[in-house]
Amino acid sequence: MIALSLGEVAELVGGTLHPVGDHDPATIVSGVVDTDSRQMSPGGIFVAKPGEHTDGHRFVGAAIERGAVLALVEHLVDEEISQIVVADVVEAIAALARGVVARVRAHGALRIVGVTGSNGKTTTKNFLARILQDEGETVAPIASYNNEVGAPLTMLRITDDTRFLVCEFGASAPGEIARLAGLVHPDVVIELMVGLAHAGGFGGIEETARAKAELIAAAAVPGTAILNVDDFRVAAMREGAEARGLDVIGFGQGDAADVRASDVDVSASGTTCTVHVAGEALPLRLQVLGAHHVGNALAAIAATGALGVAPADAISRLETVEIAERWRMQPMGGESVRIINDAYNASPDSMAAALRTLAQITGPGERTVAVLGAMSELGESAGDEHDRIGLLAVRLNIQRIVVVGADARRLYLAAVGEGSWDGEAVHLPDADAAFAYLQGELRAGDRVLVKSSNSAGLRFLGDRLGESFS
């Protein structure tokens, strides 16, 4: 974080300062800001966030041991550290982030990119970070820091020398993207797709589309909107973007795209295509598995192009990215049994894309095995969407369908009903049972996808399988 006095922090968050020892309002702090005491470093600010299972106020002492010099709290704690008492620490870090970004913008060359979409946000922000880091100091979210806590904490990592800030905006209800993006008003906004991820919180896909469009409404003017014109709900956002005075750049595989991909080919070693942009046709070879990542790459090329990066430079940097993120289409295992661990999150769209990738990368004499868990937060659509994925797995001729957990049983029943009734599909109660089953079932030549929502916990099953068959 930039250097601020204790008094300035208190003013930005609207809190009451209680200095300790020789601290006074003029004392400067400039360390890391975090809700995790384990991430503290000398000079840091610890945010004592109450949670469902524990309370951050209990860990102020641990934060002090790791060097924290200031705590944002909702009530004073009996520890030797300067404290700023606020009504709500989550709102406080948002206010602090707004103030810090505004100060850096006022005297620096900071440019901000905001990314949203039902799928692909984390991969795209990683692509953006890889391209932009060669242009100047770049701050991007760790993992999926895209919510009311993670997004402000990412913003607070900027310094006076930061040239690019990449923000990932997730949401599970209307208004969340507007609130988070409104803290920084990005210069470039990216709309990846509108799907059923978190549809239960929004009430349906049309409501999801309106929520995603909140990012366009929060963009800086003048600014640029990067829109997936292959998704008709995203393409429909053009009118609102242009009405606000934003430049619009479309990406996709259709003729309407300004940044377009053709000749997409997926193999076990990566994904290739030709990128058509600004009158050029440029080859792209991604090490990241899956045709669905081509769209994420196009979005990153378009967005960084709006920031002045030549497409050829963007492409050469993208080609160095080995994996999208841990637990996201992550190759594991060995040559004999290959594991693709994609179980950090799942929606109907990402589940379908992962299954198609599994089918595409499996060659003659090799066997497809899909280890699938539940997709969460789908609301009333949950049953139908699990049915749809079970049907798709059979129609893609996935040869072994291993369904894990009670919440995914509909997927198993749909696969059996579609024809996987002779042992091709099995249903197991939990990850331990699945691991034991797969230890005896997998054989040389198997290509194994592990896919579920985070809450199903199959990412750790993927890790175990990867280690076992390495």
Q: What is the largest CA-CA distance in the chain?
A: 75
**Environment class of 469 (CB within 10 Å of its CB; exposed 0-12, middle 13-18, buried 19+):** buried
Residue 407 CB neighbours (<10 A):
17
Handedness of CA 213, 279, 292, 394 (dihedral sign): positive
At residue 293, the 3 state secondary structure works out as: helix
Confidence at residue 457, expressed as pLDDT on a 0 to 100 scale: 86
- DSSP for 420-460 reads -TTTTEEEESSHHHHHHHHHHH--TTEEEEEE--GGGTHHH
The domain spans of the chain are 4-87, 108-318, 330-468
The residues, any chain, with a CB within 8 Å of residue 162's CB and separated by 6 or more, are 104, 108, 110, 136, 137, 138, 139
H-type alpha helices, 273-310? 292-306
pTM confidence score:
0.88
Please name every residue paired with 369 in a beta bridge, in sequence order, or none if there are none.
400, 448
As a whole number of angstroms, the distance between CA 266 and CA 285 comes to 10
- Tell me the Cα Rg of the chain: 23
CATH 3.40.1390.10 assigned to 4-87: yes
Kindly state the percentage of the chain with pLDDT values over 70: 98
As a whole number of angstroms, the distance between CA 121 and CA 303 comes to 13
pLDDT, tens digit, 9 for 90 and up, residues 338-388: 999 999 888 898 999 999 999 999 989 999 999 999 998 888 889 999 999
pLDDT, tens digit, 9 for 90 and up, residues 66-94: 999 999 999 999 999 999 999 999 999 99
Mean pLDDT, the chain, rounded, equals 93
Taking 90 as the threshold, does the pLDDT of residue 268 lie above it?
A: no
- DSSP for 131-178 reads HHTTTS-EE--STT--STTHHHHHHTT--TT--EEEEE---SSTTHHH
At residue 6, the 3 state secondary structure works out as: helix
Confidence at residue 344, expressed as pLDDT on a 0 to 100 scale: 86
Tokens representing 88?
Answer: 């709500």
As a whole number of angstroms, the distance between CA 383 and CA 251 comes to 32
| Residues 389, 352 contacting (CB under 8 angstroms) | yes
Q: Which CATH class, in words, describes the domain spanning 108-318?
A: alpha beta
> Span 178-204, mean pLDDT?
84
Q: Regarding predicted confidence, which is higher, 282 or 107?
A: 282
Q: Which of the given ranges, 51-60, 192-201, 202-211, 311-320, has the highest pLDDT on average? A: 311-320
Confidence at residue 108, expressed as pLDDT on a 0 to 100 scale: 77
At residue 69, the 3 state secondary structure works out as: coil
Confidence at residue 198, expressed as pLDDT on a 0 to 100 scale: 54
Confidence at residue 203, expressed as pLDDT on a 0 to 100 scale: 63
> Span 412-432, mean pLDDT?
88
Taking 60 as the threshold, does the pLDDT of residue 199 lie above it?
A: no
> What CATH code would you report for 330-468?
3.90.190.20
pLDDT, tens digit, 9 for 90 and up, residues 28-52: 999 899 999 999 999 999 999 998 8
Confidence at residue 224, expressed as pLDDT on a 0 to 100 scale: 98
Phi–psi pair at 153, nearest 5 degrees: -65, -35
Tokens representing 297?
Answer: 């790459």
What is the DSSP secondary structure assignment for residue 326, as one 8-state letter?
A: T
Confidence at residue 469, expressed as pLDDT on a 0 to 100 scale: 94
Taking 70 as the threshold, does the pLDDT of residue 159 lie above it?
A: yes
User: Which amino acid type is present at position 29?
Assistant: V
C-alpha count within 13 angstroms, C-beta hemisphere, residue 347: 19
Taking 60 as the threshold, does the pLDDT of residue 65 lie above it?
A: yes
Nearest to 240 by CA among 201, 193, 189: 189
Confidence at residue 201, expressed as pLDDT on a 0 to 100 scale: 58
Phi–psi pair at 172, nearest 5 degrees: -125, 5
Residue 134 CB neighbours (<10 A):
12
